[in-house]
Structure 1
């Protein structure tokens, strides 16, 4: 087996961003004068739905019809949330998870391609990469498949298929890194082997089918990850 590309999820995998997303949603609700507030428990449930606008729609579905926003207002609300999130990230709200930067550097030295497959929007991708690497996202990742570039979000495999298409590689030559059950489903359905590093919100998810599940991507876990991948072939 030859791995030619590593494909990373963003939220929860590269960085523990979900609490910042939740804070940005709540700040945007308050700025609009909405009496909405997502607790950690609320957000844990909403994370089962991939994509920010999709989460807003899922949340609204449980409200009385009179309390729901028109679609155009919901889209604007999500754009406002994205701007708020970007400011929070720029102010240093989060950093990379342990081992991420070293793994990407090691993969570069081994002449592997580095890609991202995320349900987050491109502005959110840029905000995190600039904050953590100090450079534009396309100078860190060879390929980025983000947000609204596909019709359906994770667990649909479309975002991973798009990343593979842009890489010009078959799934057997790639390895995905995820933190959630829906991300695992997405990558597996695209034919990829998957390494899981559970995040704060996904520790209790079902990771059946993952090639390996590690607490972090720190170097002492790399031999075990490689062994698991070879055994899964």
Structure 2
């Protein structure tokens, strides 16, 4: 018999909140401020989201679309651009412009009331996560999670399972006792590679993607309860 679920592990971007448009806008503003002729529209950004991590995404874009900038000067430029993008993004979400996705706050409340541990496993920075909690939960979200594993904690980005392994070590739980909530194929592959069962809530930029390996795929968590998740986890 499978272990009962003892922890929920949440991805952030696209799962806790539909943040990607705010990220895209911040990237474009950072590029414009730096005098770069780059504009990431929605079609291009969806393609770039196949690469996890903001700095990695910029490097992938340059390699494909502006290879003349490849060379020793690229890494310092990427660091500057990403730092400015993060500042623009955190300022925007801290103002409350990006709410939690439907059903997320209720699911978290149900899990906390039932005594489940909660954790975050994300490739985004801790500053981005904390800004989201400030803006979308009036700061309450800072007290909801036993641990936040962010980009700083796991330099190997999803689909690498490192961030999930960090969370499992911190929680002191076996993978089979946890359930991951994700929105992307890379997230599904990362959780599965760590042995963590996973369910998906499709986001604006991942709807219709291949989520092979997920226990279930939902349009959002509005109609999903803790009992639903428990059933999916127990089903193996």
TM-score by length of 1: 0.95
Q: Indicate if the aligned counterparts of 1:5 and 1:173 stay in contact, CA closer than 8 A.
A: yes
Alignment partner for residue 28 of structure 1, among 27, 30, 36? 30
Give the alignment partner of residue 17 of structure 1, picking from 3, 16, 19.
19
- Once the two structures are TM-superposed, the CA of residue 9 in structure 1 deviates from its matched residue by 0.1
Cα distance in 1 between the residues matched to 2:214 and 2:96? 32
Q: State how far apart, in whole Å, the 2-side matches of 1:10 and 1:228 are.
A: 21
Distance 2:181 2:78 in 1: 31
Question: 2:126 and 2:140 mapped to 1: Cα distance?
Answer: 11
Report what 1:122 is aligned to. 126
Within the candidate set 100, 105, 108, 1:101 is matched to 105
RMSD: 1.5
Q: Deviation of residue 8 (structure 1)?
A: 0.0
Q: Does residue 57 of structure 1 match 2:30?
A: no
1:140 positional shift: 2.1
CA distance in 1, matches of 2:155, 2:148: 16
Once the two structures are TM-superposed, the CA of residue 32 in structure 1 deviates from its matched residue by: 0.8
Give CA-to-partner distance per residue, 1:26-60, whole Å, 9 cap, x none.
Answer: 01101111110001011000000000001011011
Alpha-carbon distance in 1 for matches of 2:224, 2:120: 23
After superposition, where does 1:1-233 map in structure 2 within 5 Å? 1-68=3-70, 70-135=74-139, 138-220=142-224, 222-232=226-236
Gaps of 5+ in 1: none
- TM-score between the two structures when normalised by the length of structure 2: 0.93
SS in 1 for 2:64: coil
Q: Return the offset for 1:223.
A: 4.2
The offset of 1:227, in angstroms, is 2.5
Q: Does the aligned pair in 2 maintain the 1:15–1:94 contact within 8 Å?
A: yes
The alpha-carbon deviation at position 184 of structure 1 amounts to: 0.2
Of 100-109 and 223-232, the range deviating more from structure 2: 223-232
CA distance in 2, matches of 1:219, 1:198: 14
| Cα separation, 2, equivalents of 1:65 and 1:48 | 19
Task: Map Cα deviations across residues 88-108 of structure 1 (whole Å, 9 max, x no partner).
Answer: 112222100011001111111
Measured in 1, the distance between the counterparts of 2:116 and 2:40 equals: 40
**Equivalent residues of 1:103, 1:219 under 8 A apart:** no
| Structure 2 unaligned regions, length at least 5 | none
